[in-house]
């Protein structure tokens, strides 16, 4: 590999991890808004875009909040897929494909998801079904969603999507497309499988709190481990039992 190509690949990963870090900083800024100095420039910028979005139902703020959450939580889950993709580009000499167009396709799916979830949150808020933290006000709603998420973990659709995420090389072998548009299409395809795998876990924010950073970190860890073939089978089904059990217990409170 030439030095310039190796340097370019290193830059790609530096930028990727920098964006990921900034997304988590943005999420932490919103989560700990009351503890941060409001006169700090970076805090002002983030809070002007996203603050009070949960309670004030600012659609733009809610959208940016969900987009930051999606970047922070979903980007780490495709790191093995990105590494496989980069290996194919390197070893196969596929210069017509793009690292960033692939990521763009992936994030296009999660941007649409963020739009939909922000609309759902605003609607639920206007119906007074969410409190100021973005949590269902009814324990029955929370328990029902926990059980639904748990049952979805056991569904054949979830397992079909999870297998695609666990076996990126097989996915690329069967679905390879050349060019920038091909890179974008493959990224969006992986994004759709990822969405089919993780949407219910992401939506648990309405149970634990939209800006509950602890819940976000735990769910991110679960979603990462689920997509590791050697560990996924020990995560997905036990997690479904935990969700169903939690929902069953919560309904009595």
pLDDT digit string (tens) for the chain, length 253 residues: 454 455 567 788 999 999 999 999 988 887 776 555 555 555 555 555 555 455 566 888 899 999 999 999 999 999 999 999 998 888 876 678 899 999 999 999 999 999 999 999 999 999 999 988 889 999 999 999 999 999 999 999 999 999 999 999 999 999 999 999 999 999 999 999 999 999 999 999 999 888 789 999 999 999 999 998 877 778 888 999 999 999 999 877 6
Q: Distance between CA atoms of 202 and 68, rounded to whole angstroms?
A: 12
Q: How many CB atoms lie within 10 A of CB 140?
A: 11
Global pTM value: 0.88
């Amino acid at each position: 590999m030439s030095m310039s190509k190796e340097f370019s690949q290193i830059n790609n990963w530096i930028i990727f991890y920098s964006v990921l870090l900034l997304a988590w900083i943005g999420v932490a800024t919103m989560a700990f808004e009351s503890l941060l100095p409001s006169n700090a420039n970076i805090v002002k910028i983030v809070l002007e875009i996203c603050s009070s979005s949960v309670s004030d139902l600012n659609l733009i703020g809610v959208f940016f909040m969900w987009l930051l959450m999606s970047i922070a939580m979903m980007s780490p889950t495709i790191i093995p897929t990105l590494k496989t993709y980069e290996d194919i580009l390197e070893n196969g000499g596929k210069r017509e494909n793009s690292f960033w167009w692939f990521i763009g396709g992936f994030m296009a799916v999660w941007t649409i998801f963020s739009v939909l979830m922000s609309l759902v949150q605003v609607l639920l808020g206007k119906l007074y079904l969410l409190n100021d933290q973005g949590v269902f006000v009814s324990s029955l709603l929370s328990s029902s969603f926990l059980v639904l998420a748990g049952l979805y973990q056991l569904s054949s659709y979830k397992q079909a999507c999870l297998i695609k995420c666990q076996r990126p090389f097989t996915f690329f072998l069967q679905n390879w497309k050349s060019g920038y548009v091909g890179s974008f299409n493959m990224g969006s395809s992986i994004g759709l499988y990822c969405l089919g795998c993780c949407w219910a876990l992401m939506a648990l924010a309405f149970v634990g709190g939209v800006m509950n950073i602890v819940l976000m970190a735990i769910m991110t860890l679960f979603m990462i481990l689920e997509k590791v073939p050697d560990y996924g089978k020990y995560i997905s089904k036990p997690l479904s039992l935990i969700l169903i059990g939690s929902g069953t217990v919560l309904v009595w409170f």
